[in-house]
Amino acid sequence: MTFDLDVKKSLVWRRIGIPTGSAAAELEDDFEAAYRRAREALAPRHSHKLWAVASAARGTVTLEGGVAFGSDLVEKLTRGADALAAMAATVGPGVDGLVEEYNRRGDVFAMMVADAVGSVAAEELMSRVHAAVAAEVEETGGSVTRRVSPGYGDFDLAYQPRLVELAGGAALGITLTDNFMMVPRKSVTAVAAVREK
């Protein structure tokens, strides 16, 4: 399944911290050029897998096969659930390369626009993946909770490698740095609990 991303300009302006209006109007031509190039650099890919929940209690979720997440947040989300959806999404390395190019040239505004386009696109893509998982589950009368990502609340960023693996992120080209940051940088992982009918 592929998604056509909107990447709304209003969200990009908000992300770079410039409200629409007179200031934005003065920068419109530069914005459009950087926005267009960043859109062209997007190469969205995503994957998700459902993993049966073996147990969810005392701040730990254990999946069948023995993988566990120690997080009160994830445990509360998963309590009573049948499965955990592991999701990964990336807009690819093109935006990272464009940001680096603008940085080398000293074009700070274009760099900010390209970076914001990547962030907005990655978040939109993950929202679409989450919605697709929910639609798939709801067809059989089930339901899906909200999603959470490593680094949010007590869901430690150290679980990122495990989640990338569970979601099939390696097949998307997602790798991790020593401090658990994803490459390409505009990548998102998340989990959501699945309750069957």
Domains in the chain with CATH codes: 9-195 (3.40.109.40)
| Residue 50 identity | L
**Residue matched to tokens 């940085």:** 103
- Yes or no: say if 194 and 142 are a contact pair by the CB < 8 Å rule: yes
* pLDDT at residue 22, rounded to an integer: 64
Mean pLDDT by 10 residues, the chain (197 residues): 89 88 79 97 97 94 94 94 97 98 97 98 98 95 96 95 96 96 97 93
pTM of the model: 0.93
What per-residue confidence (pLDDT) applies to 26?
80
